[in-house]
Each structure stands twice: as C-alpha cells, then as structure tokens.
C-alpha cells in the first residue's frame, strides 16, 4: 500500500512559489508518499503513470492470485508516482480503500481527487 499526496505543479510551472501543504499523515511500514499534481492550470490531477487493464494472462505472468486492478506500464520519474517509488509492473488494486477494477475507473478517481489531498494506493 502506498500513501500518495496530491499536489499542484501549476505553481512551479508558472515560476511562483508553491502553496504550503498540511503535514502528511503518518505512513504505515512500506508505504510510499508522492504528490499528484495539476497537469495544467485547469486543476486536473494526475499521478504520472501510464496504465492498462490487468488481463488474466498478465496477472499470471506477474504471479498474482487475482485478476483485478491496473498495471503500471510507465512511470515519469519526476512525477508524483516516480517520487513515491512506484515502478513499471506495479499493480494498483485500490484507491483510498476503493477497489479499482480497470484503467478508466482509476483515471476517473484521480481526476475527481483535488490536488493537495492525500490518498492511499493498494
């Protein structure tokens, strides 16, 4: 499980100083912390990964017992995901305790989450 902190890149892109965020919550052992940021000035959040639905044969290749979640296929190392230590072939199965079944669902919940919010990824 990883702890992700949503943030905003818009300030850095504009050259202004970043708005201070509240302290991050205590992390469980092995959790990771990152910031999901604004991709643009419109306020849309992003994690900084490319993802795909987890197919049964791919789940088997990855040694997973269940076929649910989404596989990370690429991580932008300068993104919130990269800073949190997420890697290619990681599989996201939950977002703030909500089960993730497919890539569209994960994109939707990321988009619905405001920059600056803390989230947990399972």
Question: Which pLDDT score is estimated for 34?
Answer: 52
Domain with 40, as residue range(s), is 2-12+31-115
Q: Report if residue 25 sits inside a domain.
A: no
Q: Report if residue 100 sits inside a domain.
A: yes
80: Cα separation from own chain's centroid: 7
9-13, 34-38, 68-72: least confident range:
9-13
Q: What percent of the chain has pLDDT over 70?
A: 65
Phi, psi torsion values for 104, nearest 5 degrees: -60, -40
Phi, psi torsion values for 58, nearest 5 degrees: -70, -40
Summarize the chain as % helix, strand, coil (round to 5).
Answer: 20, 25, 50
Q: Report if residue 90 sits inside a domain.
A: yes
Tokens of 90: 């990681």
Residue 31 has pLDDT above 60, yes or no: no
Confidence of residue 11 (pLDDT cuts 50, 70, 90): very low
């Amino acid at each position: 499980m990883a702890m992700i902190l949503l943030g905003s890149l818009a300030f850095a892109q504009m050259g202004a100083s970043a708005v201070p965020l509240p302290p991050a919550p205590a992390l469980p052992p092995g959790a990771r912390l990152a910031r999901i940021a604004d991709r643009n000035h419109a306020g849309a959040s992003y994690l900084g990964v490319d993802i795909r639905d987890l197919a049964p044969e791919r789940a088997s290749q990855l040694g997973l017992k269940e076929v649910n979640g989404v596989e990370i296929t690429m991580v932008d190392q300068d993104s919130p995901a990269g800073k949190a230590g997420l890697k290619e072939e990681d599989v996201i199965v939950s977002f703030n305790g909500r089960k993730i079944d497919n890539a569209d669902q994960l994109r939707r919940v990321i988009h619905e989450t405001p920059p600056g919010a803390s989230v947990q990824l399972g």
